[in-house]
Amino acid sequence: MTGDARGWRIALVASSLLNPPQQAKAALREATNALEASGYGVLQLPPPGEHRLLLAVIADQVAEYTHHGYAVVAVGLRGEAADGLHWRQMAPLLRHRGTALPPRHMVRVDGDATLERGRLAEFLAAYDLPLEVQRRWRV
Query: Which residues span the domain enclosing 116?
Result: 9-129
pLDDT tens figures, 13-55: 999 888 877 777 777 888 899 999 998 999 999 998 889 999 9
In angstroms, rounded to a whole number, what is the distance separating the alpha carbons of residues 80 and 109? 9
Q: Give the bridge partners for 9, in sequence order.
A: 71
Decide if 137 is inside a domain: no
Q: What is the CATH number of the domain that holds 61?
A: 3.40.50
Decide if 43 is inside a domain: yes
Closest CA to 39 of 135, 137, 128, 136: 128
Decide if 139 is inside a domain: no
**Predicted model pTM:** 0.86
In angstroms, rounded to a whole number, what is the distance separating the alpha carbons of residues 71 and 11? 8
Number of domains making up the chain: 1
Decide if 4 is inside a domain: no
pLDDT tens figures, 121-132: 999 988 877 777
